[in-house]
Amino acid sequence: MLIKLCDNLQNAIEEVADALTQRMQTLLRGNDSSGSAVISMTPQFKPANDTASVRGEERVLEAMRYSALSGGKRLRPFLTICSAGLFGVSMDSAIETASAIEFIHTYSLIHDDLPAMDNDDLRRGKPTCHVQFGEAAAILAGDGLLTYAFQVLSNSKVHADPAVRCELISALAQASGCWGMVGGQMMDIQAENKQLSVEEIIRLQRLKTGELFAVSCEAGAILGKAPGMMRNLLRAYAHDMGLAFQITDDLLDAEGTRTQTGKGVRKDKIKGKATLVSVLGVDRARDHAQLLVKQAISHLDVFDKKADNLRALAQYVVSRKG
C-alpha cells in the first residue's frame, strides 16, 4: 500500500496519529502478543510459580503504554511518513519506523519530566509518568521504550534489506544519544541560570530537539534508498523546522496555558532555562521562528507538490496553540 496524503493537513496528521497509535498498541501489548512479530522473537517465559517477575514486566509495560499511548501530536511520525511518501515506501514500513521514533521521543519526555531534570507533574494533559507510577518505574519505562525502539527497527517488517535496517538503527542512535538529544538535554540542564549566546542556544536546541526531527525526516529517505542530496535537503528542512518548533514550545511556555499545552507553563523562567525567548524576547523570537519556517520550506523545492504536507507542517508548528 502506498502512502496516501490528504489535502487537509489536520486530517492527514490525525490519520497518521490513529494508524500509529494502533500499531504502537499492538507492539506494547505484552508477552502474549502473538500479533507482534517483534515480541514473538523474544523467548516466551511461562513462570507459573514466579508471578512476581511477570508482574514486573507487566508493570513496566503498563508505564510504557501509559506514556506512549496518551496522545501527543505525533509530529515526528508524521515527518517520517511524509518523507517516506516522497520515495514510494510502503505504509507498513513507514509506520513501523515511525513507531520506533515515537518510542524514543516518548522516552525522552518521561526522563525530561523527572525530578532530577525538569521536575514536571503534567504531560499530555495527564500526570507525568513518575507521578503516576513512581520514579523508579518511570526511569525503567523510559529505558524500556528506548531499547524497544531498536528491537523494533531490527525486525524485517521495517525493511527487507538488513543494510537499510542497520542504517536506520545507526542514524537513530546517533540522533538520540550523546551527539544528539541526550547531549542537548545535558547542555540544557547545565545552562540553567547561565547567560548563553544566541549561537550557543541554537546549538543546544539543535541537539536536544533538532536531531530527532532530522532523523524522523531522514528515515523516510533511508527506507526509500534516496540519493544523499535528497537526504541532506530533508535534514536541512527538519533542522530549521525543529528550531522553529522549539522556539514555539518556549513561546507557549511563556504565554500559553496548562489547558492549551497539556503541560506545565512558565517553567522555563522559573528554572532559568536558556531559550531564544529569554535572550531575544517574545516578539523577536516569534519573528525568528517565522524566518526559520521560510528557510525550512525553501529546502523542499526539489520535491514539487509531493512535499506540500511538509510545507504545511512547517507553517503549522509555529501557529499551533498547544
Catalog residues that contact Mg ion under the rule CB under 5 A.
112, 118, 249, 253
- 65 binding ligand IPE? (CB under 6 A): no
Instruction: In angstroms, give the least distance from the CB of 237 to Mg ion.
Output: 22
Nearer to ligand IPE, 31 or 315 (CB): 315
What is the per-residue binding string for ligand IPE in 254-273, x denoting contact by CB under 6 A?
Answer: ---------x----------
> How far apart, in whole angstroms, are the C-alpha atoms of residue 181 and residue 178?
7
Q: Which stretch binds ligand IPE (CB under 6 A): 11-19, 107-115, 225-233, 277-285?
A: 107-115
Q: Is-contact 103 23, C-beta < 8 A?
A: no
Q: Which does 75 bind (CB under 5 to 8 A by kind): ligand IPE, Mg ion, none?
A: ligand IPE
- Mapped onto helix, strand or coil, the DSSP state of residue 191 is coil
Is residue 80 part of the contact set for ligand IPE (CB under 6 A)?
A: no
Interface pick for ligand IPE out of 96, 112, 167, 240 (rule CB under 6 A): 112
DSSP SS3 for 284: helix
Q: Which is nearer to Mg ion, 96 or 253 (CB)?
A: 253
Q: Which residue has the cell 507553563?
A: 265
Decide: is 73 part of the binding site for ligand IPE (CB under 6 A): yes
Instruction: Convert residues 223-252 into a mask of x (bound to ligand IPE by CB under 6 A) and - (unbound).
Output: -----------------------x--x---
- For residue 166, how far is the Cα from the chain centroid? 20
**Separation between Cα atoms, residue 191 and residue 183, nearest integer Å:** 12
**Least distance (Å) between residue 138 CB and Mg ion:** 14
| C-alpha distances out from residue 301 to 56, 78, 82, 228, 237, Å | 51, 19, 15, 16, 11
Q: Which residue's CB is nearer to ligand IPE, number 167 or number 250?
A: 250
Sole window of 33-41, 68-76, 215-223, 281-289 interacting with ligand IPE (rule: CB under 6 A): 68-76
Binder to ligand IPE among 124, 126, 271, 306 (CB under 6 A)? Answer: 124
Please, which residue, 34 or 319, has the CB nearer to ligand IPE? 319
Q: Among 67, 209, 216, 278, which residue interacts with ligand IPE (rule: CB under 6 A)? A: 209
Considering only 5-13, 19-27, 43-51, 106-114, which stretch makes contact with ligand IPE by CB under 6 A?
Answer: 106-114
For residue 249, the minimal CB distance to Mg ion (Å) is 4
Q: Which of 175, 171, 113 is nearest to 141 (CA)?
A: 113
Give the span between the Cα atoms of 149 and 264, in whole angstroms. 27
Pair 249, 300: CB distance under 8 Å:
no
Work out which of 21, 108, 132, 216 binds ligand IPE, going by CB under 6 A: 108
Local structure of 3: helix, strand or coil: coil
- Nearest approach in angstroms of CB 255 to Mg ion is 12
The site for ligand IPE (CB under 6 A) is made up of 72-73, 75, 105, 108-109, 112, 118, 120, 124, 181, 185, 208-209, 246, 249, 253, 263
